[in-house]
DNA sequence: ATTATTTTGTGATATGCATCACATTGTATA
DNA sequence: TATACAATGTGATGCATATCACAAAATAAT
């Protein structure tokens, strides 16, 4: 299955910087796949030989912590996945799993490296990505460990609304157990805080359907009080 | 102050891949500085126009969390500092401070970008670095949040011994308050656990002088029990 | 439809650790 | 050498939240 990457409507900023030549190289060296919710994209502990381009959909990056599975972050399309794990280690250090239906392209590592070598602009964009990710992870580190649960949950909900779904109404793409693993709490606490927020009129919760009713409040809780 | 970068005895793996030409460019576009313990290298909130090369010494990367200053990680020479913050944002998103006497070179951002563009091998090594860092931060995220204090303290002590000082005897380069910020606890807990470890004969603590007496135990506590 | 299985809600209890409070030691500064 | 200030040790107390224990929904499988 090889669509022409030149016409791919889902290019990242980086990809749009590629030369025709490199795009052709991509075209002839990628494997396109349609995935369903829950399908594994990258599996911790297995050999990594591909970089993955997430064309459409939403994925979670997670890994085995000392006790429970830890969800490190959510990534939505379009985005490259697995760069750290394929470049930084022979064996995948983390898993990536689709949490919605998704389309992905598996790109051979060498081809990707080659393209990285040959396209300055692309290279810069990818490095830019790395930098943003590292900054993000620094901030997450400081926030997650210092804030109380309500603050972290507020954060996560705002993130879903603003960064992932770009809407104040959305379906939570995770179970409460998973949500707990993302926010560093217990499943029970997630449940409690969610109903709490609902009772306080800050959000409305109907099953996994969430609507932000009072964004200001949520932001205040996020900044913490 | 411009020593010839070609003869610099503190090159990183990446730097050793540079072309003569690029090394000359570096030579004529860097500012070499001797710093003392406690001196600021990068300051959160200020404009970032330089990449910093840590020639010798030890530094902490830290940023203002919602409540307290959070130490994200320790970095020892030789290493580049501030890439994420200079490439990823105009304003520094974090601080870097020397925790020992240190020597640094300030490198103009454009020059560094240029060198990154012109040297494939160097570029690859830098990307490799980014990948390793991201993996590390994922693991740290999972460990820090799931482990109890004793586990995290054991981790940190092992890290100092194995990665930073390469010796089982070393001077803790941080006050207990700082150590607490690194390990996500309170100063008091650091003090308590340290004396605990000492009493159990796992480490010996004399002021900031630390000696690991029973590494197996420490590793066990790190893996957690 | 019926049963099995996963997901969620909610109380009661336990606990790890932060916080407070103050003593003590160590280290700069006059 | 005296004085001030920062860093550390240690007990007592409180609190946020994990854990346990079920019940109730909701989903999936038969």
Residue B131 within any structural domain of the chain: no
What pLDDT, in 10s, does the model give residues B3-17?
A: 789 999 999 999 999
Round to a whole number and report the distance in Å from the CA of A59 to the C1' of D29. Answer: 26
Same domain, A180 and A110: no
Residue where a domain stops, chosen among A68, A96, A125: A125
Contact A138 B67 (CB under 8 A): no
DSSP sequence for chain B: ----GGG-TT--TTGGG--HHHHHHHHTTEEEEEE-TT-EEE-TTSB--EEEEEEESEEEEEEE-SSSEEEEEEEESSEEE-HHHHHH-SB-SSEEEESS-EEEEEEEHHHHHHHHHH-HHHHHHHHHHHHHHHHHHHHHHHHHHHS-HHHHHHHHHHHIIIIIISSSEEE-SS-HHHHHHHHTS-HHHHHHHHHHHHHTTSEEEETTEEEES-HHHHHHHHH--
* d(C-alpha B205, C-alpha B203), whole Å: 6
Is residue B136 scored above 90 in pLDDT?
A: yes
Domain match, A40 and A109 both: yes
Q: Are A121 and A148 part of one and the same domain?
A: no
Q: Kindly state whether residue A137 falls inside one of the protein's structural domains.
A: no
Q: How big is the CA angle at B95 (ends A81 and B172), to the nearest 5 degrees?
A: 100
Contacts of B66 in chain A (CB under 8 A): 142-143, 146-147, 151, 223-224
* Domain boundary pick from B60, B88, B121: B121
Is A164 part of any domain? yes
Range of the domain at B83: 5-121
Classify A216 as helix, strand or coil: helix
Q: Any CB–CB contact under 8 A between A114 and chain B?
A: no
| B149 lies in some domain | yes
Hunting for tokens 């009129």 — which residue is that? A201
Instruction: Indicate if A120 and A153 belong to the same structural domain.
Output: no
> pLDDT by residue for chain A (225 residues), tens digit each?
567 899 999 999 999 999 999 999 888 888 999 999 999 999 999 999 899 999 999 999 999 999 999 999 999 999 999 999 999 889 999 999 999 999 999 999 999 999 999 999 999 999 999 999 999 999 999 999 999 999 999 999 999 999 999 999 999 999 999 999 999 999 999 999 999 999 999 999 999 999 999 999 999 999 875
Confidence of residue B223 (pLDDT cuts 50, 70, 90): confident
Quote the CA–CA distance of B34 and A159 in Å, as a whole number: 42
**Domain identity same for B110 and B160:** no
- Domain count for chain A: 2
CATH of residue B56's domain is 2.60.120.10
Over 70: is that where the pLDDT of B171 sits? yes
Asked which of A95, A125, A155 is the last residue of a domain, the reply is A125
Query: What three-state secondary structure class fits A160?
Result: helix
What is the CATH number for B204? Answer: 1.10.10.10
Does residue B154 share a domain with residue B106?
Answer: no
Q: By C-alpha distance, which of B17, B10, B61 is closest to B32?
A: B10
Burial label, B166 (beta-carbon count in 10 A; 0-12, 13-18, 19+):
exposed
Reference A83, options A128, A38, A120; nearest CA is: A128
**Best mutation site among A74, A131, A139 for testing chain B: the one with the most B CBs within 10 Å?**
A131
Q: Confirm whether A148 is domain-assigned.
A: yes
A56 CA to centre of own chain: 12
Residue A9 sits in the same domain as residue A109: yes
Do B58 and B154 belong together in one domain?
A: no
Q: What is the CA radius of gyration of chain A?
A: 19
Least confident range of A23-27, B133-137, B147-151: A23-27
Q: What's the mean pLDDT when you consider all of chain B?
A: 94
Does residue B12 sit in the same domain as residue B117? yes
Q: In the structure, what pLDDT confidence band is assigned to residue B57 with cuts at 50, 70 and 90?
A: very high
Contact call for A134 and B137, based on CB within 8 A: yes
If you search the block for the tokens 């299955």, which residue do you land on? A1
Task: Record the tokens describing residue A107, joined without a space.
Answer: 């790109």
Together in a domain, A14 and A117: yes
| Contact B144/A at CB under 8 A | yes
Q: Is residue B28 part of a domain?
A: yes
Is B138 contained in some domain? no
Q: Is the CB of A208 under 7 A from strand C?
A: yes
Chain A residue closest in CA terms to B225: A66
Q: Please report the pLDDT score of residue B2 as a whole number.
A: 63
A13 and A91 share one domain: yes
pLDDT at B148 over 60: yes
User: What pLDDT, on the 0 to 100 scale, is given for residue B29?
Assistant: 86
In chain A, what residues touch B114 (CB-CB under 8 Å)? none
Domain membership of residue B201 (yes or no) is yes
pLDDT for residue A101: 94
Same domain for A149 and A120: no
Whether A48 and A92 have beta carbons less than 8 Å apart is answered as: yes
Instruction: Flag whether pLDDT at B79 surpasses 70.
Output: yes
Q: Average pLDDT of B64-69?
A: 94
Q: What are the structure tokens assigned to A33, written together? A: 């796949």
Which bases of chain D are contacted by protein, using any atom under 7 A from a CB? 6-12, 16-21, 26-27
Q: Which residue has the tokens 């980086």?
A: A14
State the Cα–Cα distance between residues A129 and A80, nearest whole angstrom: 10
pLDDT at residue B208 above 90? yes
The confidence score (pLDDT) of residue A3 equals: 77
């Amino acid at each position: 299955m090889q669509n022409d990457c030149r016409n791919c409507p889902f290019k990242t900023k980086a990809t749009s910087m590629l030369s025709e030549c490199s795009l052709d190289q991509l075209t002839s060296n990628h494997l396109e796949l349609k995935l369903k919710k829950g399908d594994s994209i990258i599996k911790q502990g297995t050999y990594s030989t591909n970089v993955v381009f997430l064309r459409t959909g939403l994925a979670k990056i997670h890994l085995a912590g000392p006790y429970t599975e830890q969800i490190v972050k959510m990534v939505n399309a379009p985005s490259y996945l697995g760069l750290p794990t394929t470049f930084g280690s022979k064996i995948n250090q983390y898993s990536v799993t689709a949490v919605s239906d998704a389309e992905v392209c598996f790109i051979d590592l060498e081809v990707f490296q080659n393209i990285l070598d040959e396209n300055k602009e692309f290279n810069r964009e990818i490095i830019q990505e790395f930098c943003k990710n590292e900054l993000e992870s620094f901030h997450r580190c400081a926030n997650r460990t210092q804030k109380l649960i309500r603050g972290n949950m507020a954060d996560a909900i705002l993130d879903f609304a603003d960064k992932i779904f770009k809407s104040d109404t959305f379906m939570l793409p995770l179970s409460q157990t998973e949500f707990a693993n993302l926010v560093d709490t217990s499943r029970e606490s997630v449940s409690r805080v969610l109903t709490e927020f609902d009772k306080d009129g800050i959000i409305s919760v109907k099953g996994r359907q969430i609507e932000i009713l009072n964004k200001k409040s949520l932001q205040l809780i996020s900044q913490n009080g």
